[in-house]
Amino acid sequence: MLDNPQATKEALIQWIRDYFNQNGPSCSAVVGISGGKDSTIVAALCKEALGAERVVGVLMPNGIQSDIDDAKTVVNHLGISHIIVNIGAAYEALTNAIIQGEGYEVVTGRNDLSRDAAINTPPRLRMATLYAVGQNLPNGARVANTCNGSEDYVGYSTKYGDSAGDFSPLANLVVEEVRQIGRLLDIPKYLVDKTPSDGLS
């Protein structure tokens, strides 16, 4: 638990501001918005550090996302620009291209994706999407990593997926510390206390 969450919040905001001053003074922050606490809090911190006009939220459902309304609530509440990219078609196309690849069944001994590949491919598609969006913004962008320290410690993330990004505001905070920060930000309380899903599929 943080002894002084207010001081930590202010330090995180200044850290983000300093990072952008050094690595892209006119760039925007691109944040993948899932509707969970981590992405919500990172987006709110970026807004405090850079201003709403320099934060872009990207919502990336894979087909139908049951809590997509929470993600929409985040971007609307924060007043940040947002883009919705449904990765469902891209995921299906990539999956089919892989399993129909010449030699795939002979080499792998299967005609489908493994459970691990099926779980980890969507986060990697989402990260590719975030960078593609960022490279199309007028002044460029830096992509936020929204993983917290607890996820990094236990490996509850996807390599080159949600564990990627250019800057990682929550990397040194465990889950309850993230919630402490969230309670000090202008975001709906239920999003701070929301039970997490795996965030992968």
Instruction: Note the CATH number of domain 5-192.
Output: 3.40.50.620
Residues contacting 70, CB < 8 A, separation 6+: 35, 36, 191, 194
Beta strand pairing call for 55-59 and 141-143: unpaired
Over the chain (201 residues), the average pLDDT of each successive run of 10 is 96 99 97 96 98 98 92 98 98 98 98 96 98 98 93 76 95 95 95 74 47
- Residue 116 CB: number of other CB atoms within 10 A? 9
HEC string of the chain?
A: CCCCHHHHHHHHHHHHHHHHHHHCCCCEEEEECCCCHHHHHHHHHHHHHHCHHHEEEEECCCCCCCCHHHHHHHHHHHCCEEEECCCHHHHHHHHHHHHCCCCHHHHHCCCCCCHHHHHHHHHHHHHHHHHHHHCCCCCCEEEECCCCHHHHHHCCCCCCCCCCCCECCCCCCCHHHHHHHHCCCCCCHHHHCCCCCCCCC
pTM of the entire predicted model? 0.94
Q: What per-residue confidence (pLDDT) applies to 92? A: 98
Place of tokens 């899903």: 197
What residue ranges do the domains of the chain occupy? 5-192
pLDDT value at position 155? 63
- The pLDDT score that the predictor gives to residue 200 is 47
What confidence score (pLDDT) does residue 179 get? Answer: 96
**From CA 179, how far away is CA 28, in angstroms rounded?**
25
